[in-house]
Amino acid sequence: MADNDKAPARFKDLALDAADHQALADWWCEAIGYERGPTDDGGTRPLDEPVPIVDRDGDGPLIWINPVPDKGRAKSHMHFDVWGDPDRLVALGATVVRERDEEIEWHVLADPEGNEFCVFV
């Protein structure tokens, strides 16, 4: 199958936004039998960074518990992260919320109903 015949995105992982992301990561680990994921270098993850949690058995998806500053915003607190081509997704009807830049390594798009999702190239 040619690259153009493939879907413009594929599932990467889940992301859950939280006011207290450290506590929520611990709660979800306890609730679903996950554990905090290791850092790339085996060190300690800074407390203000997102917390990856992983299935102990390796069966479930990676879940990122992300810190967000404002609890009362109107956006959904759960969103998809996908590997994909932002331009092709926009051509399908997504809108650009925020381009990849020096602060973030992904594009933020919204589906036709306004649900935001992150696209990693």
* Residue 83: per-residue pLDDT: 93
| 88 and 39 both lie in a single domain | no
Domain enclosing residue 103, as ranges: 84-121
Q: Which helix (H) or strand (E) holds 26?
A: helix 21-32
Averaged pLDDT, 73-79? 72
Q: Give the HSE-up count for residue 3: Cα atoms under 13 Å, Cβ half-sphere.
A: 3
- Same-domain pairing of 91 and 56: no
Q: Is residue 93 part of a domain?
A: yes
Residue 25 shares a structural domain with residue 64: yes
How far is 91 from 116, CA to CA, in rounded Å? Answer: 16
| Burial letters 81-117, b for 16+ CB under 10 A, else e | bbebbbeebeeeebeeeeeeeeeeebbbbbeeeeebb
- Is 9 within a domain? no
Does residue 100 share a domain with residue 66? Answer: no
What integer pLDDT is reported at residue 69 of this predicted model?
Answer: 78
Tens of pLDDT along 36-55? 998 878 788 889 999 999 99
- State whether 92 and 65 are in the same domain: no
Is residue 70 located within the same domain as residue 52?
yes
Q: How many domains does the chain have?
A: 2
Q: Are 90 and 117 in the same domain?
A: yes
* Residues 58, 31 share a domain: yes
The reported pTM is: 0.74
